[in-house]
């Protein structure tokens, strides 16, 4: 009787039955595997609750289908839980991907603004198809990234010292970010090149500090994290003023916040390279250089891109393209068959086979100014005739940074993603993809 029910039919029946009828504890065991059986059994919480004869199955299924269609909430007859529990499990936090298409020649192009406002960058990857060795000008640009410092156990009030301010905030574009502090659990401190000091602190620290701040945007009903922003360039924060003394007192006496810092300063061209001022170099420190890694990939399937088709109607869709770039970066194989057990991932269609391609990654505290000059260098790549019609630059921000673009607050939630990616085309057109996760504003 049951022998004619195939495995696939069985799966369909099960999913229809469970989608609109049962709770998460329910399970359907079917015949199909044994021939002398002519019923489905429904179990809830490991107990056999009901048997449905195969011949009475179709009215059941049509009733369920009807419920699903009308989005009616159904209560499981056995455990009195609603089937909505099942759909609750399928939800996931929002994510945003902004795609822009423009040209570098366009006067109103905002590419430089997007780059310069993404302050804390952790990793830059450049991918060039049809290229065996990166041009020397490009490798130079990658080696020219500003050196940065890792300073251990710095009390935050040191950053406010008059001598220190003179050597950091007032000399150039100074960046500082607390190191190995988690944005969803610890106190995080960042100093932006605009002279703003951001203290993103947990509730206890905030209450002890006694500085004015606001609850974090991504807090729940009862805020557990607060953000204090202090503008060090403001008149009211001039050394000696009441407000300045108050902040100094809070950070020195009330809560002596201490953390490891990553610091770098972009000095104006022509002046001496910046070095750590004495007020900071009295703590243990290390000078670091961004690490560059270059690899050549051979015989790589590569999606075809059309510069004027941002939406991906005729060629590769943005998500699929970014996914493919990620797969390349991780060395994930794209030649899986549709029936493969382990993975069914494939390079998006339409595609071509590229004989060789270069992938360069730079990691460290990377300053927007350096990324901007790298971008300018990449634009010059097409000055000489090249067989490739595009190349890409991807920049990842620090997952635990308190901000993403400009002053937009950034949180971690699940992955703390904040990144942007340029695809540069031969004719100076570009695509810009900017992506953020759940605890983040929409990219500018």
Partner 1 sequence: MSDPGAVGGSVTYQRLVHKNSSGFHYMKVSLVFEKEGKRIDGAFFKQLIISALRNVYGEIGAAFPFDVLKFEEKSLTAVLRVYNSGLVKLWSALTLLGSYQNETCAVRVVQVLLPYQYTGGP
Total residues contacting partner 1 by CB under 8 A comes to 66
CB 347 within 8 A of CB 324: yes
The Cα 61–Cα 56 span in angstroms is: 9
Of 91 and 298, the one with the shorter C-beta distance to partner 1 is 91
Q: How far is the CB of 80 from partner 1 (least distance, A)?
A: 18
Residue 270 burial by CB count (10 A; 0-12/13-18/19+): exposed, middle or buried?
A: exposed
Q: Does the footprint of partner 1 cover residue 391 (CB under 8 A)?
A: no
Tell me the three state secondary structure of residue 65: helix
DSSP for 85-96 reads HHHHTT-----E
The span of 224-232, 263-271, 280-288, 411-419 binding partner 1 (CB under 8 A) equals 411-419
Looking only at residues 321 through 340 of this chain, which bind partner 1 when binding is defined by CB under 8 A?
322-323, 325-327, 329-333
The Cα 96–Cα 443 span in angstroms is: 8
Looking only at residues 182 through 211 of this chain, which bind partner 1 when binding is defined by CB under 8 A?
none
Of 118 and 396, the one with the shorter C-beta distance to partner 1 is 396
Q: Of 4, 71, 80, 89, which lies in the binding site for partner 1, with binding defined by CB under 8 A? A: 89
Of 256 and 415, the one with the shorter C-beta distance to partner 1 is 415
Q: Does the footprint of partner 1 cover residue 442 (CB under 8 A)?
A: yes
Sign of CA dihedral 13, 19, 20, 25: positive
Q: What is the Cβ-side half-sphere exposure of residue 88, based on CA atoms within 13 angstroms?
A: 8
Helix (H) or strand (E) holding 423: strand 418-425
Please name every residue paired with 45 in a beta bridge, in sequence order, or none if there are none: none
| DSSP category for residue 118 | B
Q: Does the footprint of partner 1 cover residue 261 (CB under 8 A)?
A: no
The span of 22-30, 209-217, 231-239, 287-295 binding partner 1 (CB under 8 A) equals 22-30
Q: Does the footprint of partner 1 cover residue 144 (CB under 8 A)?
A: no
Q: Of 1, 11, 53, 59, which lies in the binding site for partner 1, with binding defined by CB under 8 A? A: 11
The Cα 276–Cα 148 span in angstroms is: 9
CB atoms < 10 A from the CB of 292, how many? 16
Which residues of the chain form contacts with partner 1 (CB under 8 A)?
A: 11, 14-15, 18, 24-29, 43, 86, 89-92, 94-103, 106, 108-109, 122-123, 125, 310-311, 318-319, 322-323, 325-327, 329-333, 341-345, 394, 396, 398-400, 414-417, 419, 421, 429, 435, 437, 442
């Amino acid at each position: 009787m049951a022998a004619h029910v195939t495995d696939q039919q069985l799966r369909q029946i099960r999913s229809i039955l469970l989608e609109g009828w049962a709770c998460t504890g329910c399970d359907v065991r079917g015949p199909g595997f044994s021939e002398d059986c002519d019923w489905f059994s429904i179990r809830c919480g490991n107990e056999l609750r009901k048997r449905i004869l195969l011949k009475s199955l179709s009215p059941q299924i049509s009733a369920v289908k009807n419920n699903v269609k009308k989005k009616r909430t159904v209560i499981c007859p056995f455990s009195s839980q609603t089937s909505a529990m099942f759909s609750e499990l399928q939800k996931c936090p929002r994510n945003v991907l902004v795609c822009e298409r423009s040209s570098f020649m366009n006067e109103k192009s905002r590419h430089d603004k997007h780059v310069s406002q993404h302050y804390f960058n952790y990793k830059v990857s450049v991918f060039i198809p049809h290229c065996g060795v990166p041009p020397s000008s490009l490798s130079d640009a990658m080696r020219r990234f500003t050196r940065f410092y890792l300073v251990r156990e710095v009390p935050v009030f040191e950053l406010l010292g008059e001598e220190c301010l003179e050597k950091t905030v007032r000399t150039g574009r100074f960046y500082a970010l607390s190191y190995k502090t988690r944005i969803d659990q610890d106190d995080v401190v960042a100093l932006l090149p605009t002279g703003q000091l951001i203290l993103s602190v947990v509730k206890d620290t905030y209450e002890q500090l006694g500085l004015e701040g606001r609850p974090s945007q991504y807090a729940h009903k009862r805020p557990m994290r607060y953000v204090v922003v202090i503008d060090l360039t403001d008149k009211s924060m001039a050394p000696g003023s009441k407000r300045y003394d108050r902040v100094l007192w809070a950070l020195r006496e009330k809560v002596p916040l201490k953390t490891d810092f990553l610091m770098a300063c972009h000095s104006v061209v022509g002046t001496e390279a910046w070095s750590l001022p004495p007020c900071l170099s009295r703590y243990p420190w290390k000078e670091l250089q961004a690490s560059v890694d270059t690899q050549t990939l051979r015989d790589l399937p590569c999606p075809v891109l059309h510069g004027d088709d941002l939406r991906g109607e005729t060629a590769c869709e943005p998500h699929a393209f970014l996914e493919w770039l990620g797969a390349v970066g991780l060395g994930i194989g794209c030649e899986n068959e549709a029936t493969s057990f382990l993975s069914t991932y494939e390079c998006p269609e339409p595609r071509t086979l590229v004989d060789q391609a270069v992938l360069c990654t730079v990691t460290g505290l990377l300053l927007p100014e350096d990324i901007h000059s790298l971008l300018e260098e990449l634009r010059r790549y097409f000055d000489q005739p090249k067989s490739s019609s595009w190349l890409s630059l991807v920049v990842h921000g620090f997952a635990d940074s308190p901000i993403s673009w400009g002053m937009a607050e950034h949180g971690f939630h699940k992955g703390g993603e904040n990144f942007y990616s340029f695809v540069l085309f031969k004719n100076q057109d570009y695509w810009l993809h900017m992506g953020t996760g759940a605890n983040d504003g929409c990219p500018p």
